[in-house]
């Protein structure tokens, strides 16, 4: 057992020290995966357990101006990351078919590596999306999809920066930062107030864009399983399977939020538009019928009775002045 543990420890140090990219080893949070892992686990505990418990007997915070500032910063940050990934590779000299990692200290290679590290940092900044939900007591927004998406990403991106800060898998970050420009613009407009809700009709399409993103990442990643490319297959599977997982999670959210809701609204609308074939509403007491309808179909009751307190009297006799 001790021998096995020693082999695991030696293998871990060999992986971290000899198989990783030496350019990033001294960068913040890149020497070990454990600080990132601890922050991801802490995030999940805070947003699912500690935060809601602390807010249980408190009023929700009004964070309007903080949210406006935060979302504006996220839009600008996403624009910067998209620009860096485009200039350093994807809209410059990168191949969409096969792009190995350039581990040199070439200025463009270093620019892409630094862009990857900033993208990694951005995943921690996105924790505040959920923290704001907690402070505003929007616990119904803290879904399994939301927590998994935000909690898993920093750890996944850490491995990418540590071993492959550039090349084929950065296509995911290239697309993701573009989607985040759109997403945080939506959140920014939403944070401005109810008077701007009329400009947010495209919320449904935002989820669709996110799903298209994951399909493109899947196709782009898994193509390397069928062609020869000097790129680690482990990261092909890592990125590809992440895209598959997030696609199905977002697809489930889409169906639950939009498809089922639209069907429900359609059914309710159809039910409201259906008119009764008969004018007989089905009310038990004939004197109430006239309150709801005017019709000649209501017939006199031949055997109707009422009470004046002491005795039963024939309803036909009372209601018929000719009697």
Q: Do 24 and 117 contact (CB within 8 A), yes or no?
A: yes
Which DSSP state fits 314?
E
As separate numbers, helices (DSSP H) first and strands (DSSP E) second, the chain gives 13, 2
Catalytic residue from among 93, 141, 149, 150: 149
Burial class, 72, CB count within 10 angstroms (exposed 0-12 / middle 13-18 / buried 19+): middle
In the block, tokens 């620019």 appear at: 111
For the chain, the 3-state helix, strand and coil shares in percent, each to the nearest 5, are 70, 0, 30
Q: Do 119 and 177 contact (CB within 8 A), yes or no?
A: yes
CB crowding 186-215: b at 16 or more within 10 Å, else e: bbbebbeeeeeeeeeeeeeeebeebbebbe
Distance, in Å, from the CA atom of 178 to the CA atom of 175, rounded to the nearest integer, reads: 5
Q: Residue 71: left if φ>0, alpha if ψ -120 to 50, beta else—which one?
A: alpha
In the block, tokens 């947003």 appear at: 47
Query: Is 149 labeled as catalytic in the residue annotation?
Result: yes
For 185-192, the CB contacts below 8 A with 24+ separation are 185/71, 185/75, 187/67, 187/71, 187/74, 188/68, 188/71, 188/72, 188/75, 191/64, 191/67, 191/68, 191/71, 192/68
For the annotated catalytic residues, the residue numbers are: 149
């Amino acid at each position: 057992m001790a021998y096995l543990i020693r082999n695991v420890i030696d293998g871990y140090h060999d992986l971290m020290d000899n198989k990783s990219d030496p350019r990033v080893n001294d960068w913040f949070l890149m020497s070990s995966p454990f600080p990132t892992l601890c922050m991801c686990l802490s995030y999940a505990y805070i947003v699912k357990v500690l935060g809601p418990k602390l807010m249980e007997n408190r009023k929700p915070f009004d964070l309007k101006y903080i949210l406006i500032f935060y979302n504006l910063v996220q839009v600008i940050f996403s624009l910067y990351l998209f620009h860096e990934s485009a200039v350093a590779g994807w809209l410059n000299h990168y191949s969409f078919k096969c792009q190995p990692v350039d581990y040199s200290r070439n200025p463009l290679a270093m620019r892409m590596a630094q862009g990857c590290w900033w993208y990694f940092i951005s995943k921690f900044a996105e924790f505040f999306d959920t923290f704001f939900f907690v402070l505003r007591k929007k616990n119904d927004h803290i879904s399994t999809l939301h927590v998994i998406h935000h909690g898993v990403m920093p750890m996944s991106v850490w491995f990418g920066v540590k071993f492959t800060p550039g090349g084929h898998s950065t296509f995911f970050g290239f697309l993701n930062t573009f989607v985040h420009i759109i997403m945080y613009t939506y959140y920014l407009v939403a944070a401005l107030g109810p008077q701007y809700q009329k400009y947010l009709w495209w919320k449904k399409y935002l989820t669709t864009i996110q799903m298209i993103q994951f399909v493109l990442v899947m196709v782009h990643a898994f193509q390397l399983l069928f062609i020869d490319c000097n790129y680690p297959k482990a990261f092909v599977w890592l990125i590809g399977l992440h895209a598959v997982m997030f696609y199905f999670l977002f697809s489930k959210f889409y169906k639950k939020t939009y498809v089922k809701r639209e069907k429900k609204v359609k059914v309710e609308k159809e039910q409201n538009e259906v008119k009764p074939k008969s004018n007989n509403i089905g009310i038990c007491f004939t004197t109430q019928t006239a309150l709801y309808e005017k019709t000649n179909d209501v017939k006199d009751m031949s055997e109707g009775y009422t009470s004046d307190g002491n005795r039963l009297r024939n309803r036909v006799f009372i209601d018929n002045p000719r009697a």
